[in-house]
Amino acid sequence: MPESTIFPIEYPPIKSAGVYYFNTSSGLRYEVRFGRRQDNILHSTIVFGVINDEFEGEEYVTTNRGEVYRVMNTIVMIVKDFMEQHQKVNIYEFHAIDRDDEEERPSQQEQKNKIKGNSRLKLYKRYLPKIFEKGWNFNFDGNNAIVSKL
């Protein structure tokens, strides 16, 4: 993936840490955080979103300022870096939280096309194969994506 398709990444000062940052061209600051499950340290939950003060503490809010593809490409590179640093992690979990304007039930178009999940989950479905190549299983349950090593 060419450097121009991602934003500059701020890597954790300690390689084993799981918090990355990057700034977009429009001035948004993103945090990408990897958490470990207490019952399985080889299971990592990934959360990311905008952490600018202008969003009044709404942690992991996302916006659409025309940068979504470059943001997602940056997140792909971050997850790949984390995976390189933590090769034993065998489960990754993503939660696609509904936006305020999304309803719980699918739209008529989604029902017609049998598309499940919110718009964020659909975006994840598009980008997860760019992160997790051969040897990984994808399971989509509601607004969650769980990727596990085969």
**What 3-state DSSP class applies to 36?**
strand
Q: pLDDT tens per residue, the chain (150 residues)?
A: 555 689 999 999 998 889 999 999 999 999 999 999 999 999 999 998 888 876 554 444 455 567 888 999 999 999 999 999 999 999 999 987 755 544 544 544 444 444 456 778 888 899 999 999 899 999 998 888 999 999
pTM for the whole structure: 0.80
DSSP for 3-40, please give it. Answer: GGGSPPEE--SSTT--EEEEE-TTS-EEEEEEEEETTE
